[in-house]
Amino acid sequence: MPIRRDSVLFTVFLGALAALPPLSIDMGLPGFALLEADLGATASEAAQTLSLFLLGFAAGPLLFGPLSDRFGRRRILLMGLVIYTLAGLGCTLAPSTGLLLAARLVQGVGAGAGATLPFAIVRDVFEGTAARTRIAAVTLVLNVGPIVAPVLGSLAIQFGGWRAIYAVLAAAGALLLLVTLPGFRETAPDGRHNSLHPRELLRRYRSVLGNRVFLGNSLLGACGFATMFSYITASPTVLIGLFGVTPGVFSLLFGCSAVALMVGSALNGQLAARHVAAERVSAAGLGLIILASLGMLAVTMLGLARPATLVPLAALDTFGYGLLSPGVTHAALQPMGRMAGVASAALRSLQMLFGSLASALTGLLFDGHTTWSLSGTMAGFALLGLLARRLATAPEDTATAAGLPPASVASASPTAALADAVTDHALPPVPGAAPGRLATRPVGTS
C-alpha cells in the first residue's frame, strides 16, 4: 500500500533515507580497534573505511541527481538502496582489508541516493509553507542519526563484533528497500526530455550553479554546516585529548550539540507552520551561528577555553544550524523545477565540500595545546556565511518574502531576526504576501 504523502510516516520514511549516511559514518567508529585486530589492518587503513565511504558519498549525489531527473525518483532510489544493501553485506563478509575498503567505497555511492533524493522529493510534492515544514521535519528525523549511531554501534559490537555493525547497516538498507517497493510512488515530473549526455549535464549544472538564489542559499547552508562539522571533527581531540574528558562523558557532551540541532530543526518547523517568514528564521539561525563562533574565538583569545565554555557555544551553533538549514534548503530548491534532482545533488556536494574543507583546516591548523584551529575555522566559515547571505537575498527579494518594503528588510540584521521571528508569528500575514515562501527566480528567467 502506498504511503500517503501528507502523513507522518512519509516524513519519517524520507528522514530515514537521509539518515543513512550519518548512521554509516558514526556507527563504524567504535569498531576500529576490533577491525584492526581481526583483519590485521593498520590504524590508517581502519580510518580509510571512513574516508573512502565519504569519497563515494561525495560522488553519489552527482550521479543520482541527474539520473533521478531523467528516470524518476523511485527507480533511482531503489537502485541506490540495492547498491547500499549489497555493499553492506560485502563489508560484513569481507575477508580482507582491501575488500572491506572497496565495499565501503561502493556503500558510500549507494548512500548518495539517500542523501540526495529526499529533499528533491519534497520539492516535487510540496510548495511554500508545506515544503518548509516537511524539510524541517525530515531534517529533524535525519538528526536522530548522529545521536543513536554510537549507541547502536556499541550494541552491535557486543553481539557480533565489528562485522555486526555493517550487518545492521545492510539490514537498514534492506528494510528501506522493502518499504520503498510497495510504499513509494513516483513524484518526479516526466523527465524524458532530460538528456544524460555529458555536455547536457554540464549545461544543467552550470544553469543550476548560475542561479543566484540557489547558489547563495546553498553556500549559506554549506557555511553553517562547516561550522558544525569543525566542532564534530575537533571535539574528540579537544575534549578528550586536551581536557582529559572520559569517553563516556564525551558522549554526553557531544549529545548536547545533537539535541540542540534537533530542537532547532523542530522550532523551524513550528515557525514555518505559523507562517513566520523563512528569511527571518534563516537570518536568526545565521545570527546564532555567528554569535557562537565568535564566542568560541573570544574564549580562546581570553584563555577561557574549557568544556564548560566550549560545549554550550557548540550547542548554540548547532541550534542555529537547525534553524538555518531547512529554510535555505527550501529556498535553494524552490526555483529549480524539473532540475530538482541536479540541484539537490549540487547542494549536497557543496555541503560535503565545505564540511571536508572545515575538517581539514581544523586538523591541519591544530597546534596540539590550544583551541585556535577550532575557533578560527568556525569563525571564518560563519563570517563567510554573511557574504553568502548577501548573494542569496537582494533587498527586493527579501521584501517580497517577508511582505515588507525593501528598506525595512534590508536593514534587518541576522542577530535581530530571532526576536522578530518569535514575536511576529502571532500577527496575521500581510495581504498579498506569500507567507513562508522566499522570493525565488526560476532558472532561465530574469
Q: What one-character-per-residue DSSP string does 128-153 give?
A: HHHHHHHHHHHHHHHTHHHHHHHHHH
Range of the domain at 328: 195-426
Q: With 80 as the cut, is the pLDDT of residue 403 above it?
A: no
Residue 101: strand, helix, or coil: helix
Note the pLDDT of residue 400: 39
Whole-model pTM? 0.71
CB-based burial label for 303 (10 Å; 0-12, 13-18, 19+): exposed
Given pLDDT bands bounded at 50, 70 and 90, which one contains residue 415? very low
pLDDT tens per residue across span 192-211: 666 677 787 788 888 888 88
Q: Which residue has the cell 581531540?
A: 237
Amino acid type, 18: A
What grid cell was written down for 37? 585486530
Give how many domains the chain has, as a whole number: 2
Tell whether 118 and 212 lie within a shared domain.
no
pLDDT tens per residue across span 1-34: 789 988 989 988 998 998 888 888 878 877 877 8
Amino acid type, 377: T
Tell whether 293 and 352 lie within a shared domain.
yes
Tell whether 153 and 260 lie within a shared domain.
no
Note the pLDDT of residue 55: 80
Tell whether 28 and 145 lie within a shared domain.
yes
Given pLDDT bands bounded at 50, 70 and 90, which one contains residue 147? low
* Residue that finishes a domain, picked among 125, 160, 182: 182
Mean pLDDT of all residues belonging to the chain: 81
Tell whether 138 and 256 lie within a shared domain.
no
* Residue scoring higher pLDDT (233 or 94): 94
Tell whether 219 and 103 lie within a shared domain.
no
Note the pLDDT of residue 251: 74
CATH of the domain at 104: 1.20.1250.20
Amino acid type, 40: G
Tell whether 178 and 208 lie within a shared domain.
no
CB 34 within 8 A of CB 161: yes
Q: With 70 as the cut, is the pLDDT of residue 416 above it?
A: no
Note the pLDDT of residue 194: 67
pLDDT tens per residue across span 343-370: 888 888 888 788 878 877 887 888 888 9
Note the pLDDT of residue 394: 56
Given pLDDT bands bounded at 50, 70 and 90, which one contains residue 421? very low
Tell whether 342 and 230 lie within a shared domain.
yes
Q: With 60 as the cut, is the pLDDT of residue 286 above it?
A: yes
Tell whether 227 and 171 lie within a shared domain.
no
Tell whether 114 and 242 lie within a shared domain.
no
